[in-house]
């Protein structure tokens, strides 16, 4: 099984691996000897689609049957199957519950009809509170107390899906059309999976969804309603074996003071705020069908730092959006300079099939978009380097994730998996993956911190 894309896709792959193992299939690390290679594709942006196609073609070169699943397969279905005859099957989310049977068909040479895409938002009621009663295949949902998941690595951190889909209508984003409307997972189901992950040696739970600030709005008051995440976080942090809980993808316009307090004030929850700002100019944000602007975003950053001065705050921004003027770009640069975020991903705008922004006027030339990406990226590199330098002298708690060839590294509470930098541990102290280490920041290298370990607070399980 090969996985592309985000942490949500990684969770889906582990669900599929669990379902397949339950159906008698055996997972192998060697594609050369496999009967089938399942490629969990990404369909978010053009570069991700290209990576998915390249991976499918490379998998076909092994001689195994190749099956495409995931976002690109869900989004394009029969169109992808027609343009990529190397794939023996192209399957959508509705095939996930019976994936083992479909692979049986593939191996036996029986034709499997390609998935026919539809706007998955139309498959659920408009009213969020009516959605739990609908029988619809949603990846990572509906397992009940039995965990249908198989870990594909032994890392001490694992993503845990709390919801799927999105009810927002950002003009540049196609995700809701193929991931569907927003659906929360019941708290007991999340807790059961979290406990299972802890039993597998996971020490940090990384809560993922398309929009974590919406969690609970479709569950009713008995589960906490809009405050369900605030109620869930302490229960997750209290699980045996769980040392840290991290929340990802918060929408600034939906982020409530109570949620900020819950993240900042709950023991075992990382002071980490993944805020989806996307821009700072209010006029650009309106064209994006989003809310807020420099003043409200800076006020939100100030709120966070009042609650947790050492908090990590990261975001993504899009530059070169249709109609973006020099003044609007300068406002984004002003916001980034004032906010002093820990990490910022900078992306250039590109059209996405079927989105509102695809039809907007005022498109910028590709070269101009690329120049703006470089300009803002250079600024971000300076700002985030300074932010890391500001942490020299701080005490941090590091979860060790890598010990290889004399190099030891992990992440502190303000650093999210894979994209936020890491802590490089000095000295020759005997450390193991999964150790929780207290140390002092003695230097920085870009966004990475150099940390001198003082003590192992808790050894690896």
Residue ranges for the known binding site for [4Fe-4S] cluster are 6, 42, 71, 166, 170, 173
Annotated binding site: 6, 42, 71, 166, 170, 173
CA–CA gap between residue 146 and residue 401 (Å, rounded) = 28
- Residues 6+ away with beta carbon under 8 Å from 106: 36, 65, 67, 88, 89, 112
User: 87 and 72 in contact (C-beta within 8 Å)?
Assistant: no
């Amino acid at each position: 099984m090969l996985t592309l894309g985000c942490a949500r896709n990684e969770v889906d792959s582990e669900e599929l691996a669990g379902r397949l193992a339950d159906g008698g299939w055996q997972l192998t690390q060697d594609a050369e000897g496999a009967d089938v290679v399942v490629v969990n594709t990404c369909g978010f942006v053009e570069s991700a689609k290209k990576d998915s196609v390249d991976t499918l073609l490379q998998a076909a070169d092994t001689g195994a049957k190749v099956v495409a699943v995931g976002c690109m397969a869900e989004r394009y279905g029969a169109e992808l199957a027609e343009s990529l005859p190397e794939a023996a099957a192209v399957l959508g989310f509705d095939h996930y519950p019976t994936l083992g049977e479909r692979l049986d068909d593939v191996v036996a040479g029986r034709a499997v009809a390609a998935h026919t895409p539809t706007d998955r938002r139309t498959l659920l009621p408009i009213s969020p509170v009516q959605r739990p009663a609908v029988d619809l295949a949603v990846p990572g949902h509906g397992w009940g107390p039995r965990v249908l998941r198989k870990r594909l690595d032994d890392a001490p951190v694992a993503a845990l899906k709390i919801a799927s889909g999105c009810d927002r209508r950002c003009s540049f984003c196609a995700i809701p059309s193929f991931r569907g409307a927003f659906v929360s997972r019941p708290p007991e189901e999340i807790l059961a999976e979290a406990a299972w992950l802890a039993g597998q040696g996971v020490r940090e739970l990384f809560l993922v969804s398309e929009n974590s600030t919406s969690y609970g709005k479709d569950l009713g008051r008995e589960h906490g309603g809009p405050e369900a995440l605030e109620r869930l976080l302490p229960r997750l942090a209290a699980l045996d074996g769980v040392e840290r809980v991290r929340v990802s993808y918060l929408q600034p316009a939906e982020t409530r003071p109570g949620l900020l307090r819950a993240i900042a004030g709950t023991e075992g929850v990382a002071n980490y705020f993944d805020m989806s700002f996307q821009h700072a100019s209010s006029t650009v944000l309106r064209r994006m069908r989003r809310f807020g602007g420099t003043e409200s975003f800076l006020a939100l950053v100030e709120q966070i730092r009042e609650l947790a001065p050492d908090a990590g705050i990261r975001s993504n921004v899009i530059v070169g959006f249709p109609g973006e003027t020099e003044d609007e770009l300068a406002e984004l640069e002003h916001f980034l300079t004032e906010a002093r975020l820990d990490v910022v991903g900078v992306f250039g705008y590109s059209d996405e099939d079927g989105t509102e922004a695809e039809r907007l006027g005022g498109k910028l030339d590709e070269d101009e978009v690329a120049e703006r990406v470089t300009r803002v990226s250079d600024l971000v590199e300076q700002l985030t380097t300074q932010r890391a330098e500001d942490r020299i002298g701080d005490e941090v708690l590091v979860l060790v994730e890598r010990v290889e060839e004399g190099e030891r590294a992990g992440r502190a509470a303000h650093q999210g998996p894979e994209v936020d930098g890491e802590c490089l541990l000095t000295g020759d102290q005997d450390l193991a993956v999964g150790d929780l280490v207290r140390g002092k920041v003695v230097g920085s290298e870009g966004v990475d911190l150099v940390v001198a370990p003082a003590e192992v607070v808790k050894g690896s399980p």
